[in-house]
């Protein structure tokens, strides 16, 4: 359709039909109620009317269902406007790849894009038109259980990975049935809830918001994302879905976004609960005024919007603008010509869990694992005959993480399966030892675990946090391993010091006590479908760990929030610090620095950083600077290393971070190989929100370093004229 035809279509719609375009229910409500909604909502319109006018559906099962929904709707709708079908495809549809936080640890935008591309193929075959992905909420407090859905505590990584996902998922042309539109979420600063409690209010300065939280969403929109989801939280007092400053001024006016904004689940309704709307009608008015086009599931638009327009409280032009955005998206997806888009049962069979996708998922799981510690235990020797696999997750199938599809666990390669695939002749004794739930004090399995450990040549000790402890609504106030896992670890390691601790968890955990006793520690996060195969290959050195932490691991929960790019204080803590009451910014009972800092991760080989060279020491704003880092693989295995480039602005009109990642690149080096990684630094990377909250750079001296956070090396300075 051309824009003239779209306008004609809009002009032909009744008020109820227009409102219908802005209404979304989930497929469960839609189908199970045989097109009706029960309770008071059901009384508003007869069931067939809802089906006739409804604009979009979320959370459906498969291609057959997608087609059935579309057929049912198209048969009822005299205007023949297809439904938009939306789904949360966050880290894979059927082939599940590692959780986003793990993908961040991959420090590899191309790998993230490759995974997103596989998700695109599976999603389009399933009939998805819009995915609620990427989620790029910068998060610096792991008490918040949704930290697993984001890539990093660093907006640069979130923005780069988010943009890579958008590009590959949407492709060049959304009408291509294999492409899927992206909805960026959760705008804005949902990852900064007070006290780490999900849905809690967010209070931050405009400078902090603009420097740390907004850039990742903006990067995804600049990459072309067609939708955005305002977040549940209030931001500086105003819930995002009604936040006119955020939505109208920043999003639409400053950034020029003309795509669709869709509320988060029942967030319009929650304006009443927040206490900023005086009842449902007021909530609808506020959300419409803030340019929220689609109301997800709570049916407030469905019930109240038409009347508000009739009364002149919501201007009809405002409604028309929202409807037009939705129609334009449907048109761009080519739905008027092909309402099924990519839905195809045969294709589903061909792509779901196919060998190519499993291979990508396995490689992603290998390249996102972070080797935290290794006192010569890893890789395990190939001639081991007798290994004990111990721990609450030893045989677990829940290794996919939040937002994996229901039933995905049955496709997971478990750890014993993975080990047997690689080492078929190995004798493996398996003991659970203990549970991993909060309050789980049952120690009755520890004795058998200790016995198994004592009788084995090596032990793989699998610890962490149950899969359902991270994700939406899963905040924790204490981030140690739940239950008696630490006791299990102590006794097992005492019985057999040739033990590697493997960790499965969706957030940074406090591993301080484990680190004191474990000779080796490998952080696997939730690796997805190929978990067991990836772990076995990492343990026996078929794959070499190369992940780096995209969020630091704390010593204690009390260190949160703990951004690596903290601001300096007037009394920074000296290192080492020996005074009892030093009157510096520090704790009496714990060091300031994390147990493992942002950017840290070991390999089975050794990388030596030989030099960092600048091609000039003074630049003007128009000039650029080349930074060349030379490194060498001084070990005996092929390995990948992420070269990280950090900036420090020495003097500015406002306090600047002590270290700021401004670029990164992952390279592969053969044993003995030397390589040079060159980064280009421009004036744009030196900008910040200054004294007057204006975005720009200031002349002066800057430092550039490599290494990783809190452990910077090879620093050189330059000057911006």
Minimum separation from the CB atom of position 242 to ligand BGC (A): 17
132 vs 607, beta carbon nearer ligand BGC: 132
Question: Is residue 91 involved in binding ligand BGC (CB under 6 A)?
Answer: no
Find the binding residues for ligand BGC in span 161-190 (CB under 6 A). 185
Rounded Cα gap, residues 393 and 456, in angstroms: 19
CB of 183 to ligand BGC, least distance (A): 7
- Which is nearer to ligand BGC, 231 or 556 (by Cβ)? 231
User: What distance in Å separates the CA atoms of residue 461 and residue 203, rounded to the nearest whole number?
Assistant: 41
Pull the structure tokens for residue 604. 């089975």
88 contributes a contact to ligand BGC by CB under 6 A: yes
E strand segments, 170-293? 181-187, 227-230, 234-235, 238-239, 260-261
| Contacts (Cβ under 8 Å, ≥6 apart) of 115 | 91, 92, 97, 103, 360, 361, 364
For residue 264, indicate whether it is catalytic: yes
3-state secondary structure of 638: coil
260-261/227-230 β-pairing: parallel
**Distance, C-alpha 189 to centroid of its chain:** 13
Residue carrying structure tokens 């002149």: 312
210 token code pair: 């603009």
Cis peptide upstream of residue 37 (ω within 30 degrees of 0): no
| 183 or 436: CB nearest ligand BGC | 183
For residue 416, the minimal CB distance to ligand BGC (Å) is 33
Quick one: 267 or 586, whose CB is closer to ligand BGC?
267
**Shorter beta-carbon distance to ligand BGC: residue 24 or 374:** 24
Interface positions, 538-567, toward ligand BGC (CB under 6 A): none
CA distance 59 to 146: 19
674 SS3 class: strand
The CB-nearest residue to ligand BGC is 132
Residues 215-244 touching ligand BGC, rule: CB under 6 A, are none
To the nearest whole angstrom, how small is the minimum distance from the Cβ of residue 472 to ligand BGC? 6
H or E stretch at 609: strand 607-614
Q: Which is closer to ligand BGC, CB of 123 or CB of 705?
A: 123
Please answer whether residues 120 and 90 qualify as being in contact, where contact means their C-beta atoms are separated by less than 8 angstroms: no
Considering only residues 264, 367, 523, 641, which one is a binding residue for ligand BGC as defined by CB under 6 A? 264
Sequence-distant (≥ 6) Cβ neighbours of residue 492 within 8 angstroms: 390, 433, 449, 450, 453, 459, 461, 499
How many residues touch ligand BGC under the rule CB under 6 A: the total is: 7
Residues 120-139 touching ligand BGC, rule: CB under 6 A, are 132
Strands 56-58, 84-87: pairing kind: parallel
CB nearer ligand BGC, residue 241 or residue 323: 241
Active-site position among 41, 88, 137, 264: 264
| Among positions 255, 265, 352, 560, the unique one binding ligand BGC when judged by CB under 6 A | 265
Burial class (CB in 10 A: 0-12, 13-18, 19+), 571: exposed
Q: How far is the CB of 18 from ligand BGC (least distance, A)?
A: 24
197 binds ligand BGC (CB under 6 A): no
Site string (450-489) toward ligand BGC, x via CB under 6 A: ----------------------x-----------------
- Report, in Å, the least distance between residue 251 CB and ligand BGC: 18
Report the candidate in 379, 416, 605 with the shortest Cα–Cα distance to residue 500: 379
Phi-psi region of 107 (alpha: psi -120 to 50; beta: other; left: phi over 0): left
Nearer residue to ligand BGC within complex by CB, 264 or 663: 264
Instruction: Answer for the pair 225, 166: CB distance below 8 angstroms, yes or no.
Output: yes
Q: How far is the CB of 208 from ligand BGC (least distance, A)?
A: 23
- What residues are paired with 632 via a beta bridge? 608, 674
Q: How far is the CB of 243 from ligand BGC (least distance, A)?
A: 16
CB atoms within 10 A of CB 603: 21
Residue pair 394/416 in contact (Cβ under 8 Å)? The answer is: yes
Which active-site residues does the annotation give? 264
Q: Would you tell me which residues interact with ligand BGC (CB under 6 A)?
A: 58, 88, 132, 185, 264-265, 472
């Amino acid at each position: 359709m051309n824009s003239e035809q779209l306008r004609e279509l809009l002009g032909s719609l009744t008020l109820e039909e227009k409102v219908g375009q802005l209404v979304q229910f989930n497929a469960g409500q839609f189908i199970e109620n045989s097109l009706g909604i029960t309770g008071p909502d059901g009384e508003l319109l007869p069931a067939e009317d809802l089906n006739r006018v409804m604009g979009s559906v979320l959370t459906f099962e498969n291609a057959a269902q997608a087609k059935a929904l579309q057929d049912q709707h198209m048969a009822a709708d005299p205007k023949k406007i297809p439904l938009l079908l939306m789904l949360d495809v966050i880290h894979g549809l059927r082939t599940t790849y590692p959780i986003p936080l793990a993908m961040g640890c991959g420090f590899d935008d191309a790998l993230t894009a490759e995974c997103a591309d596989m998700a695109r193929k599976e999603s389009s075959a399933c009939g998805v038109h819009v995915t609620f992905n990427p989620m790029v909420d910068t998060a610096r407090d792991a008490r918040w259980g949704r930290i697993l859905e984001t890539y990093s505590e660093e907006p640069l990584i979130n923005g780069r990975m988010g943009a890579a996902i958008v590009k590959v998922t949407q492709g060049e042309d959304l009408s291509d049935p294999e492409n899927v539109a992206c909805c960026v979420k959760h705008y804005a600063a949902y990852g900064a809830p007070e006290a780490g409690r999900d849905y809690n209010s967010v209070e931050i300065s405009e400078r902090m918001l603009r420097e740390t939280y907004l850039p990742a969403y903006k990067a995804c929109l600049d990459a072309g994302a067609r939708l955005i989801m305002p977040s549940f939280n209030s931001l500086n007092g105003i819930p995002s879905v009604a936040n006119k400053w955020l939505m109208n001024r920043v999003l639409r006016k400053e950034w020029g976004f003309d795509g669709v904004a869709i509320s988060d689940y029942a967030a319009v309704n929650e304006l009443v609960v927040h206490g900023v709307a005086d009842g449902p009608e007021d909530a609808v008015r506020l959300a419409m005024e803030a340019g929220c086009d689609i109301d997800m599931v709570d049916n407030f638009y469905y019930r109240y919007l038409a009347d508000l327009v009739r009364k002149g409280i919501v201007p009809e032009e405002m409604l028309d603008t929202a409807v037009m955005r939705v129609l334009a998206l449907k048109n761009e997806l080519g739905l008027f010509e092909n309402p099924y888009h990519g839905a195809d049962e045969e294709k589903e069979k061909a792509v779901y869990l196919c060998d190519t996708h499993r291979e990508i998922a396995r490689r992603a799981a290998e390249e996102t694992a972070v080797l935290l510690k290794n006192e010569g235990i890893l890789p395990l020797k190939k001639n081991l005959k007798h290994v004990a696999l111990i721990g609450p997750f030893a045989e677990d199938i829940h290794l996919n993480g939040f937002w994996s599809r229901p039933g995905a666990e049955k496709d997971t390669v478990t750890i014993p399966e993975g080990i047997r695939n690689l080492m078929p002749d190995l004798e493996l004794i398996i003991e659970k030892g203990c549970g991993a739930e909060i309050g789980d004090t049952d120690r009755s399995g520890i004795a058998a675990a200790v016995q198994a450990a004592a009788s084995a040549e090596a032990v793989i000790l699998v610890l962490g946090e149950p899969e359902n402890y991270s994700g939406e609504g899963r905040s924790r106030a204490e981030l140690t391993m739940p239950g008696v896992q630490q006791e299990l670890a102590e006794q097992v390691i005492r019985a057999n010091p040739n033990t590697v601790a493997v960790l499965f968890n969706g957030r940074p955990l406090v591993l301080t006590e484990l680190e004191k006793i474990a000779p080796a520690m490998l952080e696997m996060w939730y690796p997805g479908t190929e978990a067991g195969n990836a772990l076995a290959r990492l343990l026996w050195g078929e794959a070499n760990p190369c992940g780096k932490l995209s969020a630091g691991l704390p010593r204690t929960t009390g260190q949160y929030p703990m951004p690596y790019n903290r601001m300096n204080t007037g009394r920074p803590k000296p290192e080492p610090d020996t005074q009892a009451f030093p009157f510096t910014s520090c704790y009496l009972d714990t060091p300031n620095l994390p147990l493992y800092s942002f950017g840290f991760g070991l390999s089975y080989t050794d990388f030596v950083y030989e030099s960092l060279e600048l091609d000039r020491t003074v630049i003007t704003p128009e000039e650029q600077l080349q930074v060349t880092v030379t490194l060498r693989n001084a070990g005996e295995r092929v390995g990948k290393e992420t070269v990280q480039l950090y900036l420090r602005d020495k003097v500015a009109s406002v306090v600047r971070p002590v270290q700021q990642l401004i670029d990164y690149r992952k390279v592969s080096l053969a044993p003995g190989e030397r390589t040079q990684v060159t980064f280009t630094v421009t004036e744009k990377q030196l900008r910040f929100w200054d004294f007057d909250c204006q975005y720009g750079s200031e002349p002066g001296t800057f430092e550039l370093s490599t290494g990783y956070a809190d452990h910077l090396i090879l620093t050189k300075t330059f000057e911006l004229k």
